[in-house]
Amino acid sequence: MAAIYFCIVLGQYGLTFWLPTIIRKSGVADPLWVGLFTAIPYRCAIIALPLIGMSADRRRERRLHLAIPMLVAAAGFAVLPTLGSIPASIVCLSIAAAGILASSSQFWSLPTALLGGMSAESE
């Protein structure tokens, strides 16, 4: 579980720290537009997060609802360097943000499901 969480946090930090730089390197020079474009992936994540959570609750399944968003986020990050246009970069960043932030919420349901006794408690 530590390796899974490491991957999630690595994606979150990459997104949080480098998102404005990635957008600026895509061709946006004005800081106002960098800020506005930076908000778009997070808005997509705000939409995806409850939808994935509701789907996981409805199906009573957490592992695939954790793994699939992580893979989707990885695909978004992997395709990003091959693109040169601003709209395509924003789409990939939005996909990556939605996947990585949705997987973060799904991760925290796993410790109590997989661990028992004192190891599952937060004391």
Judged against a pLDDT cut of 60, whether residue 84 lies above it is answered with: yes
Judged against a pLDDT cut of 70, whether residue 55 lies above it is answered with: yes
Judged against a pLDDT cut of 70, whether residue 117 lies above it is answered with: no
**Does residue 94 belong to any structural domain of this protein?**
yes
**Does residue 123 belong to any structural domain of this protein?**
no
**Average pLDDT of every residue of the chain:** 87
| Secondary structure (H, E, C), the chain | CHHHHHHHHHHHHHHHHHHHHHHHHCCCCCHHHHHHHHHHHHHHHHHHHHHHHHHHHHHCCCHHHHHHHHHHHHHHHHHHHHCCCHHHHHHHHHHHHHHHHHHHHHHCCHHHHHCCHHHHCCC
Write down the pLDDT at residue 107: 87
**Does residue 121 belong to any structural domain of this protein?**
no
pLDDT band of 57, cuts 50, 70, 90 = confident
**Does residue 120 belong to any structural domain of this protein?**
no
Q: Are 69 and 102 contacting, i.e. CB atoms less than 8 angstroms apart?
A: yes
**Does residue 43 belong to any structural domain of this protein?**
yes
Among candidate residues 76, 65, 82, the one with its CA nearest the CA of residue 11: 76
> pTM to 2 decimals?
0.83
**Does residue 122 belong to any structural domain of this protein?**
no
Judged against a pLDDT cut of 90, whether residue 70 lies above it is answered with: yes
Residue 49 sits in which domain range?
2-114
Number of domains in the chain: 1
**Does residue 119 belong to any structural domain of this protein?**
no
